[in-house]
Structure 1
């Protein structure tokens, strides 16, 4: 079982990349779980035909109790991907990071991995703040590999640097390691050069170069991943190539 955490600045497109990677892996016959670790709880929406999923924290607020089965907090999406969203607290109240930790503990109690026996688990994690619960996939053994999503924009690279540095600080503890960078192009000046400089500074490979594509927007308007909507498009082929690279490791 491969356990991969995808980190990146909010709004950088990591949910789009994660769900398309999940779709590409599923098309190739792999059993995939995607866990959205963002208070917005929108990581898996394009795997689910545009339907929002009841988050774990949302369930607990609504029913004032923990769910007793996986079926109450999960749904099958495109290619059979099992989708779960941690969600977050009521805005202005509580800590979103604690919500992630509470969700992970609950999934252990429900024996998620033992029951599903997945080939790949993808965690889609907000990377603006790498502390507390947001660092749980790195620190607590839930993920083995980290992929960092960035563009050539200044704040995206700033967040990417914080993520890489945080993982490096855990290096001597046997926690997850950064396996590489995913360039999600925004077509800013010197974009490739800037991302290459960042990757070199941290001695990381650029594992994927995702072109800016109208096909992604067209797919998301229909509640779909681009891998489902236009599997032969160049941007979809980039996701299939990334999936193949991950499976070869």
Structure 2
């Protein structure tokens, strides 16, 4: 089973990268779970034709603990099983606790034993890698971390924070950083900046995703570019990345 946690600065495009990767794996015939670990609960929306999924924390806040996986999940494009952790009411609780509560429930419901996925993707909020936000990289969940960045200063700053935090967790048996996904913002000398950052930390740039109007076009329609046009150049980029990750994970 390939288990990946995807981190990066808020607004850098983690959910776009994650949902497109999920769709790419599904297009290759793989059984995929995508778990959105963000209070906004919008990670899976483009796998569900723009329809938001009720997050697990909403059930728990209502005092209605779900008894079945079907209560908290939905099947999206390509058969991807979609789950959103959600979070507490803003200002009234720690968002990270929502992730922990959700993961405890998923264990009780035997998610992985029941669904038996080939690939699990965790889309994790921002550049915070502590408390509940570290839960996806603990032993038994994700095995590898992909950091999404651009060449922008703050994106690289966040990427460095994530890299440092994950490195500090290595001796606990947590996941390791597998590499970077360069999500282009077309800033000056972007490729050189990210390459220099990667080289200094002995990381690979595993994915190179150009800025794409095709992605925007299909996300406006509530879908990934892979569902909209699997033969497009950008869709093929994600499929190539999915193949590479599968080959390395086998």
Please say if residues 139 and 173 of structure 2, whose CA atoms lie closer than 8 Å, have aligned partners that are also in contact: no
Query: Is 1:208 the equivalent of 2:196?
Result: no
Please say if residues 32 and 79 of structure 2, whose CA atoms lie closer than 8 Å, have aligned partners that are also in contact: yes
TM-score computed with the length of structure 2 as normaliser: 0.97
Q: Distance between the aligned counterparts of 1:45 and 1:121, measured in 2?
A: 17
Aligned match of 1:4 = 4
Task: Name structure 1 gaps, 5 residues minimum.
Answer: none
Q: Distance between the aligned counterparts of 1:240 and 1:93, measured in 2?
A: 41
Report matched runs for 1:225-244 at 5 Å.
225-244=224-243
Q: Per-residue deviation at 1:141?
A: 3.1
Report matched runs for 1:84-95 at 5 Å.
84-95=83-94
Give me the CA root mean square deviation. 0.9
Aligned match of 1:32 = 32
Q: Distance between the aligned counterparts of 1:68 and 1:196, measured in 2?
A: 47
Aligned match of 1:115 = 114
Aligned match of 1:169 = 168
Question: How many residue pairs are counted as aligned between the two chains?
Answer: 248
Report matched runs for 1:100-139 at 5 Å.
100-139=99-138
Aligned match of 1:54 = 54
Q: Distance between the aligned counterparts of 2:25 and 2:238, measured in 1?
A: 9
TM-score computed with the length of structure 1 as normaliser: 0.98
Q: Distance between the aligned counterparts of 1:166 and 1:129, measured in 2?
A: 9
Task: Name structure 2 gaps, 5 residues minimum.
Answer: none
Q: Per-residue deviation at 1:140?
A: 4.3
Query: Is 1:45 the equivalent of 2:45?
Result: yes
